[in-house]
Amino acid sequence: MVMCGNHLSMYRSNWPADNGMTMTTNNDQMNFHAYMQDLGQQAAQAARKVCMASTATKNAALNELAQRIMDNQRGLSKSNQQDLQAGQQKGLAAALLDRLELTPARMQAMAEGLQQIAALPDPVGEIANMATRPSGIQVGQMRVPLGVIGIIYESRPNVTVDAAGLCLKSGNAVILRGGSEAIHSNRALGELIKQTLKQVGLPETAVQVVNTTDRDAVHELLTMNNYVSVIVPRGGKGLIERVSTDATIPVIKHLDGNCHVYIDRDADSDKAVAIAVNAKTHRYGVCNAMETLLVHNDIAHNILPRLATEYAHHAVELRGCEKVQTILQAVTPASEQDWYEEYLAPVLAIKVVASTTEAIDHIETFGSHHTDVIVTENFSTAQHFMREVDSSSVMINASSRFADGFEYGLGAEIGISTDKIHARGPVGLEGLTSQKFIVIGDGNIRD
């Protein structure tokens, strides 16, 4: 049996000689430290080649992978069926099984996503701000890949392809650690990616799927500071909190999407109703859905009954402050905990405020710095809100649902950051790069 460098069986601490055993779930015998360090080292070596790859080669890889996905739908479905059957046996919830499934439409969406990434401009090598200094040197900044990205995600196998595509296009190597429920689908996708990389002449280890479902492997990944530049966790709050706590490598993350719409007293009522309904009801389980509605006292009597009718159509449960309770029937009293809540469900907290300042204070106190919206026709109020609200996206007269890499024109996104360092908001190709200084002289020395 020939073993390639990454074959997990190499890392079994008491591997019996030549028994022909293939990778199993018998993880307890493996040396995760050695296995992950090896992945890291290979990724770092690959990164030095990928960072120099031409745009044409990277795009060829993306388009070729799209084609391979379309050509291998049956094989992918078969691997995916293994995951679905295992999931059913384990009694996974229907919603989780749905996320896990690779339908023909989803495979096509993955392929199209890759083609879209291929069509995006290559950020690597872009030179900005080049200027001559009094000393005679020219100084500028060149955009360069970060190196090795670690992605940790849950059940959706499409993340394997999306993340690989974004990391490749931005000149990075990537280590992908998907959810245990999707291991067969991810391995099959990983195999297609490997074939593609080989075909276009890029290192096969530029994209590596972690070939074990053991959590010790995740811990290794989060602490390989020598090899990995940044970790991007994608999934529920529990995953992201665990990753943030354990990682010694910088993490690009978003924890919560507790988004607000504030309807100012100078709001246009029709725009306000349209936005407040869209932001809540367009989709419930997404991070950019509105969770708390703030309404200026002067407009509350006019606008809340209209909104209540709309929300009733959508069967949205309303939880209001005392003032809201005096205006609307059928509203549950809101507790302080409601202001912190990311419902991800047809539930909405509503508070009446006396001023824009009170609205901003509420957002800064209870919000999660994700996406916050003001609806107003007043120019100065809009400017004040836009400048002072400290969120990754601040919007005027638009639905919070627009907070998205595609809608912003970044193309696909690797995630949405609510951190303040490096990248804020939807993170596309640029968020997977940084800028180094370049200096050009002609023998210049410092006096």
* Spatial distance between the Cα atoms of 310 and 92, rounded to a whole number of angstroms: 34
Does 436 contact a copy of itself by CB under 8 A? yes
List the interface residues with a copy of itself, window 345-364 (CB under 8 A).
364
Decide if 396 contacts 418 (C-beta within 8 A): no
Residues 6 or more apart whose CB falls under 8 angstroms from that of 169 comprise 58, 59, 62, 117, 118, 120, 122, 429
Q: Is 286 in the site for a copy of itself (CB under 8 A)?
A: no
Instruction: Examine residue 438 and tell whether it contacts a copy of itself (CB under 8 A).
Output: yes
Give the Cα-Cα-Cα angle 394, 400, 404 (nearest 5 degrees).
90
Instruction: Tell me the closest approach of the beta carbon of residue 315 to a copy of itself, in angstroms.
Output: 19
Residue with tokens 């609307």, as numbered in its chain: 328
The answer to whether 328 contacts a copy of itself (rule: CB under 8 A) is no
Q: Which residues pair with 372 in a beta bridge?
A: 260, 394
* Candidates 8-16, 48-56, 104-112, 324-332; binding stretch for a copy of itself (CB under 8 A): 48-56
**Cβ(232)–Cβ(151) below 8 Å:** yes
Please identify, among the stretches 97-105, 185-193, 214-222, 263-271, the one whose residues bind a copy of itself according to the rule CB under 8 A. Answer: 263-271
| Shortest distance, position 249 Cβ to a copy of itself, whole Å | 9
Between CA 50 and CA 171 the distance in angstroms is 5
CB neighbourhood size of 102 (10 A): 24
Q: Which residues contact 274 (CB under 8 A, 6 or more apart)?
A: 399
Q: Which of 15, 271, 317, 325 binds a copy of itself (CB under 8 A)?
A: 271
Binding to a copy of itself (CB under 8 A): which residues in 110-129?
125
Nearer to a copy of itself, 36 or 375 (CB): 375
Contact string 61-100 vs a copy of itself (x = CB under 8 A): ----------------------------------------
- Stretch near a copy of itself under the rule CB under 8 A, chosen from 106-114, 265-273, 303-311, 338-346: 265-273
Task: Say which residues have a Cβ less than 8 Å from residue 209's Cβ, sequence separation at least 6.
Answer: 160, 176, 177, 178, 186, 187, 189, 190, 193
Name the residues that contact a copy of itself, by CB under 8 A: 48, 51-52, 125, 131, 133, 135, 137, 139, 142, 144, 146-147, 229-230, 250, 268, 270-271, 274-275, 277-279, 282, 364, 375, 386-388, 390-399, 401-403, 407-409, 419-422, 424-426, 434-446
